[in-house]
Structure 1
């Protein structure tokens, strides 16, 4: 499988680790934070808990949580946290846990200590671990510059020790800062600083008892929540204040009390939580009135129409697997009070050509656009961001990407985006991203999600909160779905070739191996026989070795290939013969263990293969002879396989054929994937296409080989085809065609037919057939045969294509 961004995992969840929730309806006041003394500028001990695993405890382990109030990272290598019993004797000693790493500015650092016999909940993944057995009720913890055990046993002596960076005494501890130790520690309560991390050097004033809330450097918290009760009255901060007028919240990292809203959608699977929206918006169109409340592993105890008050920490979550994705402003570790039920949900904002701008995004010269003020009237990405979490709606929209296995599809809400001849939207340039594309998921049962193909219509209203998907793209989390109008999209069949025409096709068969279902082989074979009309030569990409992803050194693929050939014969096709070269194990990229490669199939009744010994996985093929005597030094062979351009990527396979006694040189390609590229909707604009660097190198190597063939015989008939993993307007393809050594046939199609693949709602080109100058335009007929990419039921994610040549 090849995609313009990182490939999807085989199983899909929406799980991620942030802070879990405690949802309650009892009416106990949660006050807003009061005034604090000026916080210290370095690292502090933020929370101490010694009840882990004790009777009544939920958490299994004791822990010490550090925090950094400084503006730069606080290095911890050479530091330690140390513990002394609350009432030390002459023989008492400080226990030591050594630290490494650092605390990010504003970040946390979690040190797991000893486990007790009880408890049911694990700490979030700790940043460091020790075996200190803290008392649940009384003791002293110190952050120390050094790893040698302290010797002080009085408050005065410890205050005089310059190695002590911070110190917390709790319960009745003799050693503490200020007037007294922090009170209230127990098997079920920690002592912790406020959200402002105030440090006045008085433990009794600076730390208060409460439910333990361990958080690690990634912002992850323990599952299950604190059991605290919810707020009773609205605070002064509203959702639009939290969202702000940029992509990230001005309140990030702060705990906000009593945020009011009406529940607009509830997600009970994957990343559980609910959306809420303020029914009383402000006058600024850049500030969203909606937000997602993340409840972790706990199913939210609210329903659509509930009026709620939420006290929670503001976080920014980056769901996209690919680099550079947008963030989602969320409320985490929430305490929720349901005030009333059955309230009207705020009316949705309709997304259409009148509300979605034609321009996609501001350009930040490759930098982040996160802190730029949103301009929702000027840019589509800004429009979507300004509606993040709000109730939105599309009406009577075309489906531009079919329903997939994850129960999602894409529609286009802007009628001005260029349409394909079959109902999709065509991607025709980096500056033409098609701004109306939007994904639709459902908050209902997966079984109820409609099956639709490209060109179908989603009639009526589809509405719900606007989310951002982990695979990139703004998404309607639909509480209500329109109905699908089936417009009867048919799989294409290419025109029949004349006997005098040579037909050459390419087909990415998507990680085919012998363990795949017989139905996949049969569908792929039908595509070759029926839809492509049994081409004389077929280049296959993504043929895996004989045991597929099993990573045991197997590289031969004869079982895979022969199973495919048998399927073609069973479908009524010819008895193809084949040629290929086994790759070096693990050196050609793709699914680990699969050893994907390109393969030539050919019909010996129509065309002959010129076998020339000497081709193997590491020997470079060359050109010999001139004019009509031009030939390859090996057939099949590989083009410069040791060149660094092909590192962890497929090497081009070149073969010499004869048709009507005329030589034809065919190059089967599968350039490196787009994995790691920043997406069209990246927060970095213009997005970085890092993978393109290698494809340009690959194109240069192949261009020079083709130029060498043409230097030997300017009339050489060359067909270069396959999955180039890039667009017709990309630097890689313009490099490959530089100087006219090859021409890309997709550019000779009408613009609305230029696609072989559909991704994020864009019908786009990844597969190409290119030919040399000797194959004149009037002697070439080219066809992309749409049988997969537009359909919910696919044999592959690529459409095959074929060229008919009169040599």
Structure 2
């Protein structure tokens, strides 16, 4: 860091207004009276709860050393920290000063700040996120420059408690905002007690790959629910993994490391501790450790034997003809998945992608993928699908995402029964002592309210070595709108589950209808379930023993298909009927080719099950 002149004689005044998304706490606790000029310290502003006792009030000449400057984005400003801390571990010594324009201060400046204390909620109050204590509309006076920064507080396995968060206050609708912080007992309280302060992590293992927004996730607890590839597994609602921390850069994005899960940021990564909409507590790094490769490589599964049927699910993330990922997806299907007999594809977009002009056909999208698979040395797949009603199935506006079946006609045949379309439901009937679909391909209960603005399940009837196999391709509603793990409400609300629960009941009922006709029918229900293997959604799918989530055949540490905020977790699942589960020879593989890598072509890992019908 370049040295500055030791003294600036002129005062620097920066006028600012709060951003539109900011939220000001209009009331403060009764004990917080007017702030005496020149006597208020940063820890007084922060207080011992998540909300400042001075929220909404004017403060004068709050002193600190500038520890970080953010001159980009919608939250321009800088952090200051008091180099003379108090003896209360619950009160932070740092605070963010929101300027709304590129700040005219530098790291190492000693400043005094006068302005209004506010509580800014990233994402707005409806998000349920915690707030960030800020000083807004500031007048800033630079007292001196080139000062040593307050020593960074180390965030480590030893400092972060095992317990994640306190239970929210019932009288405050489950909010933890009014509770006194207990940083030695709860991880979220520990991080909150460091809000705005200069912190550091050392030799931190990467558990969430670098994303397009130049951010990644590390853990300071490498032994916390680890998997063999360096990630941190989210295996229950009570295992939030307290060691996770997001890293962003205060420097140029071009210098940010391109990290994969299992890599390590060696040495020191340090900077102010922020809180943002997309990851909660975030180290805004002034300096970033050196990236050391963990050697994580893309996986390949084994090829199915002549007697095994291989069925896979793969979310290809809004694939449309304009994308440049067809060859990479084809390589994954041919060389990583070993050309499964049946592939359920999710997020196939229509022939002109997000262009919203009424187009719903996807033959060009699927055709390009089939051609790319042949070019990669794979079979020429055939395919089946049903075009949705325009703009009725959610997803990217104009994209009309849907599921589609690829199948290898040299290994498996498709039983076509016409009549299925976007609004016509397929059913189950008895034919020569066995179960059969009335429409194949067909949609399951497309008019049911469970599928409002969501993808409808696609059912198909296949024959392998003379045995009928029913395959149901799903893409349940997303988790969008759920409160994050770091929300002010603890435990956080998961409102999106309501629709997935309804969807799971529809699919479970349909499978039971098949099994009622033939109890030993082979049924595979698979896709992007958008929920965990331990979730209520999965339990409803499994109700009555109709289905079983085959990912549970893997060790708990290996159950994941997606990495979100540093948590390796299950979203994609393959569920099977009792005859498939107990028929012997069932093997399951979550093939890690995307979710752990910064250069992913999809954010989901494909899944494959092999069995002998």
Structure 1-normalised TM-score? 0.71
**SS of equivalent to 1:241:** helix
Which of 123, 127, 141 pairs up with 1:320?
A: 123
Cα pair 2:21 2:121 within 8 Å, conserved: no
- Cα distance in 1 for residues equivalent to 2:271 and 2:20: 33
The equivalences for 1:539-618 within 5 A come to 539-618=344-423
Displacement of 1:746 after TM fit?
1.1
Cα pair 2:590 2:608 within 8 Å, conserved: yes
1:431 aligns with 2:234: no
Q: Deviation string for 1:332-388 (max 9, x for gaps)? A: 111111111111111111111111000000112561111111110110001000000
1:451 aligns with 2:250: no
1:690 aligns with 2:495: yes
1:704 aligns with 2:509: yes
- Greater Cα shift, 624-633 or 712-721: 624-633
Cα pair 1:25 1:337 within 8 Å, conserved: no
Cα pair 1:627 1:713 within 8 Å, conserved: no
- Cα distance in 1 for residues equivalent to 2:523 and 2:399: 29
Partner of 2:280: 473
**SS of equivalent to 1:548:** coil
Which of 618, 628, 639 pairs up with 2:444?
A: 639
Partner of 1:794: 600
Which of 16, 35, 39 pairs up with 1:236?
A: 39
**SS of equivalent to 2:150:** coil
Cα pair 1:389 1:466 within 8 Å, conserved: yes
Q: Deviation string for 1:89-134 (max 9, x for gaps)? A: xxxxxxxxxxxxxxxxxxxxxxxxxxxxxxxxxxxxxxxxxxxxxx
Q: Deviation string for 1:22-75 (max 9, x for gaps)? A: xx96359x9xxxxxxxxxxxxxxxxxxxxxxxxxxxxxxxxxxxxxxxxxxxxx
Q: Deviation string for 1:739-759 (max 9, x for gaps)? A: 111000111110110000000
Cα pair 2:61 2:112 within 8 Å, conserved: yes
Partner of 2:321: 514
Displacement of 1:472 after TM fit?
2.7
The answer for unaligned runs of 5 or more in structure 2 is 1-7, 25-35
Displacement of 1:416 after TM fit?
3.9
Partner of 2:103: 300
Displacement of 1:214 after TM fit?
8.4
1:400 aligns with 2:207: yes
Displacement of 1:215 after TM fit?
8.1
Cα pair 1:626 1:712 within 8 Å, conserved: no
Displacement of 1:465 after TM fit?
0.3
- Cα distance in 1 for residues equivalent to 2:175 and 2:57: 23
**SS of equivalent to 1:701:** helix
- Cα distance in 2 for residues equivalent to 1:214 and 1:790: 40
Cα pair 2:429 2:436 within 8 Å, conserved: yes
Q: 1:216 to 1:521 in 2, by over 3 A?
A: closer
Partner of 1:461: 268
Partner of 2:298: 491
Partner of 1:537: 342
Displacement of 1:700 after TM fit?
0.4
Displacement of 1:292 after TM fit?
0.7
Q: Deviation string for 1:490-539 (max 9, x for gaps)? A: 1000012111111111100000111112xx11111110000000111000
Q: 1:686 to 1:213 in 2, by over 3 A?
A: closer
Which of 621, 624, 634 pairs up with 2:429?
A: 624
Q: 1:218 to 1:801 in 2, by over 3 A?
A: closer
Q: 1:335 to 1:213 in 2, by over 3 A?
A: closer
Cα pair 1:324 1:684 within 8 Å, conserved: yes
Partner of 1:782: 588
Partner of 2:141: 337
- Cα distance in 1 for residues equivalent to 2:502 and 2:50: 36
1:764 aligns with 2:582: no
**SS of equivalent to 1:630:** strand
- Cα distance in 1 for residues equivalent to 2:240 and 2:538: 19
The answer for unaligned runs of 5 or more in structure 1 is 1-23, 31-210, 222-232
- Cα distance in 1 for residues equivalent to 2:19 and 2:396: 33
Q: 1:724 to 1:215 in 2, by over 3 A?
A: closer
**SS of equivalent to 1:685:** coil
Instruction: Tell me the matched-pair count.
Output: 589
Displacement of 1:415 after TM fit?
3.4
Q: Superposition RMSD on alpha carbons, in Å?
A: 2.0
- Cα distance in 2 for residues equivalent to 1:703 and 1:214: 53
Displacement of 1:470 after TM fit?
2.2
- Cα distance in 2 for residues equivalent to 1:657 and 1:711: 19
Partner of 2:610: 804
Partner of 1:662: 467
- Cα distance in 1 for residues equivalent to 2:424 and 2:352: 25
- Cα distance in 1 for residues equivalent to 2:359 and 2:258: 39
- Cα distance in 2 for residues equivalent to 1:804 and 1:537: 11
**SS of equivalent to 1:467:** strand
1:269 aligns with 2:72: yes
The equivalences for 1:414-429 within 5 A come to 414-429=221-236
**SS of equivalent to 2:134:** strand
Q: 1:784 to 1:663 in 2, by over 3 A?
A: same
Cα pair 2:523 2:577 within 8 Å, conserved: yes
**SS of equivalent to 1:242:** helix
Partner of 2:10: 26
Cα pair 1:253 1:315 within 8 Å, conserved: yes
Cα pair 2:346 2:527 within 8 Å, conserved: yes
Cα pair 1:627 1:714 within 8 Å, conserved: no
Partner of 1:505: 312
**SS of equivalent to 1:679:** coil
Cα pair 1:234 1:309 within 8 Å, conserved: no
Displacement of 1:280 after TM fit?
0.7
Moved over 4 A (4+): 211-221
- Cα distance in 1 for residues equivalent to 2:215 and 2:433: 55
Which of 212, 222, 245 pairs up with 2:48?
A: 245
Displacement of 1:616 after TM fit?
0.9
- Cα distance in 2 for residues equivalent to 1:392 and 1:213: 27
- Cα distance in 2 for residues equivalent to 1:705 and 1:794: 35
- Cα distance in 2 for residues equivalent to 1:216 and 1:355: 34
Q: Deviation string for 1:180-204 (max 9, x for gaps)? A: xxxxxxxxxxxxxxxxxxxxxxxxx
Partner of 2:218: 411
- Cα distance in 2 for residues equivalent to 1:476 and 1:646: 40
- Cα distance in 2 for residues equivalent to 1:598 and 1:216: 41
Q: 1:532 to 1:217 in 2, by over 3 A?
A: closer
Partner of 2:27: none
